[in-house]
Amino acid sequence: MKTTREEAREDSHDNIVDNLQGLLEKNYDAEKGFSKAMDNAENARLKNFLKQQAAQRNRFATELTHELRNLNETPKDSGSTTGSLHRTWIDIKSAVAGNDDEAVLEECIRGEKASVEEYEETLKNNRFPNNIESVLTKQASEIRQTLSKVKNLEDLADDHKL
């Protein structure tokens, strides 16, 4: 029989793993969304930016995978399945179908806002070991920076029609 302390430790571990797996899945979805948007974007600067963002999300997924393995857990190896693909990236795929660079940027902004909110909620509502909290805080900060870049690109698109 487990002690109360052992049960609490196990619950905490499971909660950390569930949160990391959820963020990992979202990063896989975001990477796919950025890659799909890149394939359909027309402007070379926008394509390059989207390629960089896909690579960033791949790096985030690798970092989260590393943390899960450090917890002796098997990380998910792909994004969400069935009908639960992250709604924002479905919207991006729909927007790029029209090959409208401005629509792609607008959807990127929506997607990055959703990502920032997800990270902030996860950090606010959970207790993580310092090393994991540091990784998540850094990733959230990078997503905020991306959001600023996307907004600047959108301003350029408005002014110059990429």
Domain boundaries, the chain: 4-160
Residue 161 has a pLDDT of 52
In this structure, of 28-42, 85-99, 139-153, the range with the lowest mean pLDDT score is 85-99
Q: Mean pLDDT over residues 39-63, rounded?
A: 91
Q: Mean pLDDT over residues 3-9, rounded?
A: 71
Q: Mean pLDDT over residues 85-107, rounded?
A: 63
Q: Mean pLDDT over residues 103-119, rounded?
A: 86
Q: Which residue has the higher pLDDT, 75 or 87?
A: 75
Asked if 152 contacts 110 with a C-beta cutoff of 8 angstroms, the reply is: no
Residue 31 phi, psi dihedral angles, 5° rounding = -60, -45
- 4-160 — its CATH code? 1.20.1260.10
Mean pLDDT (the chain) is 82
- Whether the per-residue pLDDT at 139 is higher than 90: the answer is yes
Q: Which residue has the higher pLDDT, 86 or 58?
A: 58
Hey, what long-range contacts does 146-151 have (CB within 8 A, 24 or more apart)?
146/53, 146/56, 146/112, 147/109, 147/112, 147/113, 147/116, 149/49, 150/49, 150/105, 150/108, 150/109, 150/112, 151/109
In this structure, of 52-56, 139-143, 145-149, the range with the lowest mean pLDDT score is 145-149
